[in-house]
Amino acid sequence: MSSNRIKQQSPSQSEKHAIRRKFNRVISDDVIAEIKIDLPSCPNCGTARIADGQKFCHICGGELVDGSIFKECMTKELSELPFTDFQHKVIEISKFKTIEDVLISDDTIRELKKVRHVGPKYAEKIVNKINAWTNEFLY
């Protein structure tokens, strides 16, 4: 078999890479113009925000509510979750204080098992309860 024939049968350079489309090729310019991403307005006077990181209303000076539900969920104290009394004690003894602490841990179950009277199944039960609460909160 000759090298020219092999070269002709192999895929060309453009076939190896994924197509990268631009928004205006997938969605019309009219639809793009109609898309608006609004931040929550001022709870006091109803004025729309003018900047993403704005902390206070530029009209009335009232404090603006942070619109991040995810951030609110991650900073939620584990002591506020609906656990049994024993589960609250386990959480209190463990190093975990917030949802974020649990989610970023490499091995949450192993850490919970360090608490006296907590085995692998009970630790898994606590982690599953935290995950279920987090999913319910976010979705």
Question: Is 3 a domain residue?
Answer: no
Residue range 120-137, pLDDT digits in tens: 999 999 999 999 999 888
Which residue range(s) make up the domain with 48?
21-66
- Clarify whether residues 41 and 92 are in a common domain: no
Give me the number of domains the chain comprises. 2
Interatomic CA distance for residues 113 and 120, integer angstroms:
6
Indicate whether 37 pLDDT > 60: no
- Clarify whether residues 56 and 117 are in a common domain: no
Comparison of pLDDT for 55 and 90, the residue scoring more? 90
- Clarify whether residues 119 and 82 are in a common domain: yes
Instruction: Give how far Cα 120 sits from Cα of 36, 75, 82, 97, 98, Å.
Output: 48, 26, 20, 20, 21
Q: Please state, rounded to an integer, the average pLDDT across all residues of the chain.
A: 82
14-18, 109-113, 128-132: segment of lowest average pLDDT: 14-18
Phi, psi of 51 (to 5 degrees): -145, 150
Confidence tier at 69 by pLDDT (50, 70, 90): confident
DSSP state of 79: G
Question: Is 116 a domain residue?
Answer: yes
